[in-house]
Structure 1
Amino acid sequence: MKLPIAAALTVLGAVAVVPGAGIAIAEPGAPCDGFRPAGAAMTGVSPDQLGNWTVRYERVEGGNPAIAEAINGVIDAEARGQVATYEPSASKTTEWTLDVDGKIMKRPVTISTLFTGEYNSNLANMPFHGVATRVFDCRSGILIDWDNLFVDKMAGLTRLSEQTAKILPTVYAPPSNPGVWQFGSEIAPVDANYRYWVPTGEGIELHFPDWQFGRGLAVITVPWAQIRDLIAPEFQAITG
């Protein structure tokens, strides 16, 4: 019988395994304390010799080995994905570089990774800034996303959309006509608009990629008080 997430996270003992899922569960207490960041890097040159990339990032070590392995597998894939995102479509006529950093962020029950990078060449509208995130429950190693974080995904995305419309104009300079912020599809309550986020002590920190709201990366924080009622019971601990 497969245990629901809420039950799986309360299994007693040093390590338990969710039947049918093969996911190890850490001993209750301070789940993330045993994990620590460890540096890693990858470098390379494109087949046509025009591009050079460097991805410096952090994995986790220590803690429950099975959980660390599950988390690192996703982090390593994301590091490789940074190159895979840019290299195929990179310039075939001019030299280019890709420089990416990935950092681990720990909270009581979560380990998150935030990748930020810069693709650059001598072409117009450069550089281009990239961002990517992953959030893990360090009690189990599973990825946390909108599908399992919210009791109702659509309601959660709608709340994020509403809060983005309120918060963004207070963080970034308004247009020349004060009070006239014209939002369109870029804040619609769909996955594509809210792909990148990490939990912080203040709330859900949303990261918006280059061009979603003009040039550069935009970052806002939706306070826990504005979203807590929509978070699933088994993940309430994420709010701190």
Structure 2
Amino acid sequence: MTRIRSMVAAVAVTAALAGCSTSGTATPASAPTTTEVTVTTERNQPTSTTPTTTSSAAEPYVVGSTRVTGSTVRATYDVAIPQLSGGNPAVTAEFNESMRAALQDQIDNDYGNDFALSDGYSTGETHVGRRVISAEQITGWIAVPPGAHGNSLIATVTIDADTAQPISLGDAFTDLDAGLARLSDRAAAILPTTRAGESFERSGIEPTVANFANWTASPEGMKIHFGDYQVGSYSIGLVTITVPWTDLSDVLAPGMQAVLSS
């Protein structure tokens, strides 16, 4: 199975790296090597050796993590990524492979520097619904040798638990341009209530796939995850907003709201 498809169709990766040149030629990376597997709860806290589901809604899936370590010519990495066990084997396999592909995309990217990837400065969320599995992965990036400070990389994966297929923005909306325009409009209304404030960076919410690529599903609405510098200065950190499904119902593809809000 080609995991690059997941990057284009469903796995969104955004890197906002201040002061880093993007010129140069990327060096092929070796595949990540799993060195440790730890089953955890949805909050990524260690549990006993007996698998425990995260909630009644999450059964029979168990949210855990796998630590992936290794190095390439340009990068070293030691990152814990979300993984599933139990449930529909096809869904579990698609989710797990997509999360690995998301990390591999970060490893393979040419940031213009040698770099190291580690666990993020904050923890992403994993949502297990009746019909959807959706996760945010936050990875810490730092140049080697270190610069002024590190940055956060965001990757998201959303899997249809009915079909075991990734869900992209193009899948979510009947008309992608109309969907992006609605997300941009709602972000403009919501961001002033966040750390970004009234003076948020408007270029970060222009109706493009790149600006809204990092999204996850929740019962309340579509969560949009903005990376470092996307909607404001580095000091505000990462910003997440939730656009209620009621604000998107007329632009979502038929039946998609029932899946994504489960």
1:78 to 64, 85, 102: 102
Matched with 2:225 is 207
Matched with 1:225 is 246
What CA distance in whole angstroms lies between the structure 1 residues aligned with 2:72 and 2:151? Answer: 18
2:119 to 94, 100, 105: 100
Matched with 2:21 is none
What SS does structure 1 have at the residue aligned with 2:179? helix
What CA distance in whole angstroms lies between the structure 1 residues aligned with 2:93 and 2:148? Answer: 39
1:139 to 162, 179, 202: 162
What CA distance in whole angstroms lies between the structure 1 residues aligned with 2:200 and 2:89? Answer: 49
What CA distance in whole angstroms lies between the structure 2 residues aligned with 1:38 and 1:184? Answer: 36
- Displacement of 1:58 in angstroms is 2.1
Q: How many residues align?
A: 199
Matched with 2:52 is none
- Displacement of 1:82 in angstroms is 2.7
Give the direction of change, closer, same or farther, for the CA distance of 1:103–1:203 in structure 2 (3 Å limit).
Answer: closer
Give the direction of change, closer, same or farther, for the CA distance of 1:160–1:103 in structure 2 (3 Å limit).
Answer: closer
Q: Which residue identity lines up with residue 157 of structure 1 in the other structure?
A: L
What SS does structure 2 have at the residue aligned with 1:89? coil
CA radius of gyration, larger in? 1
Q: 2:58 matched to 1:58? A: no
Summarize the alignment of residues 1-240 of structure 1 with structure 2, pairs less than 5 Å apart: 33-47=59-73, 52-85=76-109, 88-89=110-111, 91-92=113-114, 96-100=115-119, 104-121=126-143, 123-174=146-197, 181=199, 184-213=202-231, 214-215=233-234, 216-237=237-258, 238-240=260-262
What SS does structure 1 have at the residue aligned with 2:117? strand
Q: For 1:201-223, what per-residue CA distance to the aligned partner results, in whole angstroms no more than 9, with x for missing partners?
A: 22111001112122132211111
Q: For 1:1-50, what per-residue CA distance to the aligned partner results, in whole angstroms no more than 9, with x for missing partners?
A: xxxxxxxxxxxxxxxxxxxxxxxxxxxxx9963322232111123437xx
Q: Which residue identity lines up with residue 158 of structure 2 in the other structure?
A: V
Give the direction of change, closer, same or farther, for the CA distance of 1:192–1:173 in structure 2 (3 Å limit).
Answer: closer
Give the direction of change, closer, same or farther, for the CA distance of 1:74–1:182 in structure 2 (3 Å limit).
Answer: closer
Greater relative contact order, per chain length (Cα 8 Å cut-off, separation 6+): 2
What CA distance in whole angstroms lies between the structure 1 residues aligned with 2:57 and 2:164? Answer: 11
Give the direction of change, closer, same or farther, for the CA distance of 1:172–1:89 in structure 2 (3 Å limit).
Answer: closer
* Greater mean alpha carbon deviation, residues 124-133 or residues 66-75: 66-75
Q: For 1:168-221, what per-residue CA distance to the aligned partner results, in whole angstroms no more than 9, with x for missing partners?
A: 0111253xxxx5x47543221110110101112221110011121221322111
Deviating beyond 4 angstroms after TM superposition, the runs of 4 or more aligned structure 1 residues are: none
Q: For 1:114-151, what per-residue CA distance to the aligned partner results, in whole angstroms no more than 9, with x for missing partners?
A: 11011124644421111110101111111111111111
Give the direction of change, closer, same or farther, for the CA distance of 1:104–1:110 in structure 2 (3 Å limit).
Answer: same
TM-score, normalised to structure 1, is 0.73
Question: Identity of aligned pairs, percent?
Answer: 29
* Greater mean alpha carbon deviation, residues 58-67 or residues 197-206: 58-67
Q: Any stretches of 5+ residues in structure 2 without a counterpart?
A: 1-55
